[in-house]
Amino acid sequence: MNILTIQKVKKIFGSGETAVKAVDDVSFDVKQGEILLIMGPSGSGKTTLLSMIGGLLTPTSGSVIIGGTDITKVAKNRLPDIRLRAIGFVFQSFNLFQNLSGVENVQYAGELAGQSSTKARQKAEAILNELHLEKRMRALPAELSGGQQQRVSIARALMNDPKIVLADEPTGNLDSQSGHEVMMLFHNIAKEDRRSVIIVSHDQRIKDIADRTLWIEDGRVSDAPPEPQALVRDPVCGMRIDSRYAPFSKTVKGKIFKFCSKDCLEKFNRR
């Protein structure tokens, strides 16, 4: 069963000489329980595409159909509610409220959707327990590790039982161990909870859990991503990355090093 259908979606930023075609005529379906990975170089249109799927950005043309409703056609005032209930977002930078504890961040998402604070609290605690944060859920985001903050943000994304979970570089700020844990969580979210998961990432390892990988370049999507021509190893975590779209790089004495994440680059800098 298709949970999501996007048809001929286009996004043009600006107009005239300076117009940027960020997403150009993209169509695909996503089934229930499917994990779709979207890979592509920086600036290829990944975040723009994900934002349109999530109703955060309106396409210039085309349709985004979620559970039978074309969200590009619904009244603007209905969109926040659809977004809240149908879609869970996970971002690279976690986007947590810094003055709320982990459990309060998750609880708040439930309250926004109309749950009583008692119900929302119980549910938030249950989800965080499942994500093995029972001991740390009362801490503020600043007191949590990157991996723990990302688990809080995944819990928040699951709070209103969305059919679709969207993740933009969810492992980009994590070390390789936490990145692996987060990846396995997405796997469970799709295969046990039967949600559809769309992940945008440079992380080659996510291919291992993805049912399908799409490649995007200059706003255009193709089925078969080109085989990585130049796999190199991140010198810190040892992960294989495609040198063409490694998120971080550094040149030392004429030699170029590529990194899977900011965390690895920083560790490298401290050496």
For binding to Mg ion (CB under 5 A), which residues are involved?
Answer: 46-47
- Angle value at C-alpha 144, between 173 and 146, nearest 5 degrees: 10
The stretch among 26-34, 45-53, 96-104, 125-133 that binds ligand ATP (CB under 6 A) is 45-53
20 binds ligand ATP (CB under 6 A): yes
258 binds ligand ATP (CB under 6 A): no
Cα–Cα distances in angstroms (integers) from residue 245 to residues 64, 135, 136, 194, 260, in the given order: 27, 37, 34, 30, 9
Q: In this chain, which of 35, 36, 44, 265 binds ligand ATP, going by CB under 6 A?
A: 44
231 binds, among ligand ATP, Mg ion, none (CB under 5 to 8 A by kind): none
- Read out DSSP for 171-223? TTTS-HHHHHHHHHHHHHHHHTT--EEEEE-S-GGGGGT-SEEEEEETTEEES
Give me the least distance between CB of 21 and ligand ATP, in Å please. Answer: 8
Q: 213 - beta bridge partners? A: 37
221 binds ligand ATP (CB under 6 A): no
Give me the least distance between CB of 45 and ligand ATP, in Å please. Answer: 4
169: three-class secondary structure by DSSP:
coil
> Between 47 and 115, whose beta carbon lies closer to Mg ion?
47
Q: Which two tokens stand for residue 134?
A: 């029972």
22 binds ligand ATP (CB under 6 A): yes
Give me the least distance between CB of 108 and Mg ion, in Å please. Answer: 25
45 binds, among Mg ion, ligand ATP, none (CB under 5 to 8 A by kind): ligand ATP
47 binds ligand ATP (CB under 6 A): yes
Q: Which two tokens stand for residue 83?
A: 């977004």
Strands 240-242 and 231-233: antiparallel
> Between 130 and 217, whose beta carbon lies closer to ligand ATP?
217
26: three-class secondary structure by DSSP:
strand
> Between 7 and 60, whose beta carbon lies closer to ligand ATP?
60
136 binds ligand ATP (CB under 6 A): no
Q: Which two tokens stand for residue 23?
A: 């997403």
Q: How many residues does the chain have?
A: 271
Report the interface residues with ligand ATP, using CB under 6 A.
Answer: 13-14, 20, 22, 40, 42-48
